[in-house]
Amino acid sequence: MERVIGIDLGTTNSCVAVVENGAPVVIPNRGGYKTTPSMVAITEAGKKLVGHIAKRQAITNAENTVFAAKRLIGRKFSSPQVKNAIATSAYKIVEGPHGDVRIMLRGKSFSCPEIGAMILQEMKLIAEDYLGGKVEKAVITVPAYFNDNQRQATKDAGSIAGLDVIRIINEPTAAALAYGFGKDMEKTIAVYDLGGGTFDISILEIGAHGVFRVVSTNGDTFLGGEDFDARVIDWLVDGFKSEHGIDLRQDRMALQRLKDAAEKAKCELSSTRETEINLPFIISSGRNEALHLQRVISRETLESLCQDLIDRTIDICQQTLEDAQLGKEDIEDVVLVGGMTRMPRIQEAVSGFLGREANRGVHPDEVVALGAAIQGHALLDNKTEMVLLDVTPHTLGILTHGGTFRGLIPQNTTVPTSRGEIFTTSRDDQTAVKILVMQGEHEKGDQNELLGEFVLTGLRKAPKGQVEIEVTFEINADGIVSVSAKDLETGKEQQIQVTASSGLTQQELKQMIDAAKDEMLDRRTSEDEEAAKQEAQRLIAEIERLFPQVEQIVVSSDFGRDATEKARGILQKAKAAMQRGDVQEIKDQIEALGRTARMFRGVVQKTS
Ligand SMILES: Nc1ncnc2c1ncn2[C@@H]1O[C@H](COP(=O)(O)OP(=O)(O)OP(=O)(O)O)[C@@H](O)[C@H]1O
Ligand SMILES: [Mg+2]
């Protein structure tokens, strides 16, 4: 069966899993870690770094290191969330050609799908290393509350990374799949997922024979660990300002160090009651003297700084229960997902609200990727019986006269779904109609998310109201929206022009896919080259180390002398190839070096 991986593309950390022998497993990266930081950087020499290696150099290369790009993906530059990110990020965020978001790294602009693609490529490589072969198909997860633009942009990131994204699934739903996998249970559960960037809550009914039905979902795609960190940073910056009169935010490197320290302190306070934040030489004063930042923070302080954020998640939980028309007592189990759920105050808030202790059986960092792998496997393997019924998190509708929003497909409708709507012309001989498609819950159109403008062109000339066009709005199983139109009288399909509202045009996407392809080849060969050089170096060193001993042992036989002569020749050739950096020649010599090393080892062993 063809292989498919599940990828949890997180704001802070990403994780990849696969189903092996019928069970999902998380694939560790080369360092042995099961999650990889969702960080991307470009070095001074122009090299791209992803994951731990990018995180390690973040402080010294703050302006060219991107973190939490998922908070920006599929958003408009003008949105308040992007404004917030601009104020708090050490990297530069600029406006793209479609009012979208671009990130400047070493003078080059990158779209958010391109940044996402670098992380996805890394996850693909981790899986390929582990599985020992190419992987093309993937299921990628997104926050349940992601809108169409954000979903589409995530799918684009997958394409740029060279992945065939067979399904996009919601993170809490994936977590529920992993939770219920292989257990024949009938239960109503809540999944509370608070990660680095987003909050989701979903209520699901798990039925017998692998039926997973989402009843309702809600969330906030700009509420997560990053906001908790920001509160600690504010507290540190304010304290420093009142003590020294200096605003640390103006220094990008200081900001990155503060961010690091704030997150570390926050995590430590989940297991200790108090911790010290210590940042020597954080900035220099106007008089050229170095200033240090040193402060003790207690768990209570952290909790009071962040209580309103926690309360917001609980309010959303309340709303989701109401939408599901369920009471707290109907929830039979609570699954906590996301690193932030390690914070004791959050665990207390959730169990306090639902009146029951949360389930401790799932791993909060890995469960989403495991669920994605399970879903991928089930999609390709027709022996697996599993039915996933998810819902759309936002009402889909159109903008009507006067700027009011008319919903066509309500929030929490099971997807895939479609809905037809008949439009007529409002003027005589009108040949085009413009439709603005939106997602959201506000009555006023401008409060909702614009997905795209659809222009129906080439309409028949007729008196107003006489041309009837049926427009079909569809949401597929990925939660992605599409629109088609038909002239009801002639049955002719109408041409629809889609203008990218905040994403990439087809043309741009294609260029990015091509560019990434070239680069991937590059990267694979250079890693491969590096490995060959290291292997050759290791063998050369071993042979040189054993040489005097071997020479002494075999010196009395002609056969032995021939063998050492030959070995000398091989060493020389290999060293010359290393010096020239001739990779092909190095690879050719590895076999000969290996043979020589084995022979040398044999000689030494036999005589010792
Ligand atoms: N022990 C801990 N105590 C408190 N917070 C923690 C702890 N461990 C991790 N976190 C926080 O959890 C967040 C990361 O969680 P996670 O890896 O689940 O997020 P993500 O999946 O990358 O993001 P998202 O799902 O929002 O896209 C970070 O903000 C991190 O600081
Ligand atoms: Mg997550």
**Does 314 sit in the ligand 1 pocket, CB within 6 Å?**
no
Claim to verify: residue 474 and residue 585 sit in the same structural domain: no
Q: Is residue 359 within 8 Å of 333, Cβ to Cβ?
A: yes
Claim to verify: residue 277 and residue 422 sit in the same structural domain: no
Element (H, E) at 522: helix 506-554
Q: What is the CATH number of the domain that holds 403?
A: 2.60.34.10
Cα distance between residue 265 and residue 74, in whole Å:
31
Task: Render pLDDT for 96-153 as a digit per residue (tens, 0 to 9).
Answer: 998 999 999 999 999 999 999 999 999 999 999 999 999 999 999 999 999 999 999 9
Tell me the C-alpha to C-alpha distance, in Å, between residue 200 and each of 147, 197, 267, 549. Answer: 13, 10, 21, 66
Q: Is there a catalytic annotation at residue 522?
A: no
- Give the pairing of strands 137-142 and 4-9: parallel
Sequence-separated (6 or more) residues with CB below 8 Å from residue 518: none
Claim to verify: residue 9 and residue 45 sit in the same structural domain: yes
Cα distance between residue 450 and residue 460, in whole Å:
28
Please count the structural domains in the chain.
4
What type of residue is 421? E
Claim to verify: residue 165 and residue 118 sit in the same structural domain: yes
Instruction: Name the closest-CA residue to atom 18, ligand 1.
Output: 338
Sequence-separated (6 or more) residues with CB below 8 Å from residue 212: 173, 176, 177, 180, 204, 205, 206, 386, 387, 388, 389
Task: Please identify, among 307, 334, 367, the residue that sits at the C-terminal boundary of a domain.
Answer: 307
Instruction: Name the closest-CA residue to atom 5, ligand 1.
Output: 340
Residue segments in the chain with a per-residue pLDDT below the cut of 50: none
Ligand nearest to the CA of 346: 1
**Angle, helix 583-607 to helix 558-580, in steps of 10 degrees:** 150
User: Residue 137, by phi and psi: left (phi above 0), alpha (psi -120 to 50) or beta?
Assistant: beta
Q: Which of 114, 122, 148, 171 is catalytic?
A: 171
Claim to verify: residue 216 and residue 263 sit in the same structural domain: no
Report the pLDDT value the prediction gives residue 30, as an integer from 0 to 100.
86
Claim to verify: residue 313 and residue 300 sit in the same structural domain: no
Claim to verify: residue 200 and residue 109 sit in the same structural domain: yes
Residue by residue, what is the 3-state secondary structure of 343-384? Answer: CHHHHHHHHHHHCCCCECCCCCCCHHHHHHHHHHHHHHCCCC
Ligand nearest to the CA of 225: 1
Report the pLDDT value the prediction gives residue 5, as an integer from 0 to 100.
98
Q: Minimal CA–CA distance to 62: which of 225, 275, 248?
A: 248
Claim to verify: residue 239 and residue 161 sit in the same structural domain: no
The count of other CB atoms within 10 Å of the CB of residue 256 is 21
Q: Is there a catalytic annotation at residue 193?
A: yes
**Does 195 sit in the ligand 1 pocket, CB within 6 Å?**
yes
Q: Which two tokens stand for residue 101?
A: 């978001």
Report the pLDDT value the prediction gives residue 354, as an integer from 0 to 100.
96
Q: Which two tokens stand for residue 293?
A: 């930042």
Q: Is the peptide bond before 280 cis (omega within 30 degrees of 0)?
A: no
**Does 338 sit in the ligand 1 pocket, CB within 6 Å?**
yes
Ligand nearest to the CA of 199: 1
> How far, in Å, from the CA of 486 to the mean position of ligand 1?
47
Enclosing domain of residue 451: 396-504
Q: Which of 193, 229, 366, 449 is catalytic?
A: 193
Cα distance between residue 185 and residue 492, in whole Å:
49
Q: What's the gap between Cα 339 and its chain centre?
A: 14
Claim to verify: residue 243 and residue 294 sit in the same structural domain: yes
Could you give the 3-state DSSP secondary structure of residue 174?
helix
Q: What's the gap between Cα 67 and its chain centre?
A: 11
Element (H, E) at 170: strand 164-170
Claim to verify: residue 330 and residue 215 sit in the same structural domain: yes
Q: What is the CATH number of the domain that holds 32?
A: 3.30.420.40
Per DSSP, 443 falls in state: S
Task: Please identify, among 504, 536, 563, the residue that sits at the C-terminal boundary of a domain.
Answer: 504
Cα distance between residue 101 and residue 79, in whole Å:
10
Q: Is there a catalytic annotation at residue 311?
A: no
Per DSSP, 546 falls in state: H
Instruction: Name the closest-CA residue to atom 10, ligand 1.
Output: 339
Q: Which two tokens stand for residue 3?
A: 């292989």
Claim to verify: residue 423 and residue 442 sit in the same structural domain: yes
Distance in angstroms between the alpha carbons of the first and the last residue of the chain: 51
Q: Which of 55, 70, 124, 266 is catalytic?
A: 70
Cα distance between residue 110 and residue 93, in whole Å:
10
Q: Is residue 42 within 8 Å of 16, Cβ to Cβ?
A: no
Cα distance between residue 433 and residue 425, in whole Å:
7
Q: What is the CATH number of the domain that holds 279?
A: 3.90.640.10
> How far, in Å, from the CA of 88 to the mean position of ligand 2?
21
> How far, in Å, from the CA of 411 to the mean position of ligand 1?
28
Q: Is residue 65 within 8 Å of 90, Cβ to Cβ?
A: yes
Q: In testing the pocket of ligand 1, which one of 8, 11, 366 has its CB within 8 Å of the most ligand atoms? A: 11
Instruction: Name the closest-CA residue to atom 4, ligand 1.
Output: 267
Claim to verify: residue 268 and residue 366 sit in the same structural domain: no
Task: Please identify, among 454, 471, 504, the residue that sits at the C-terminal boundary of a domain.
Answer: 504
Helix residue spans in 78-224 (DSSP H): 80-88, 112-131, 148-160, 171-180
Q: Is there a catalytic annotation at residue 8?
A: yes
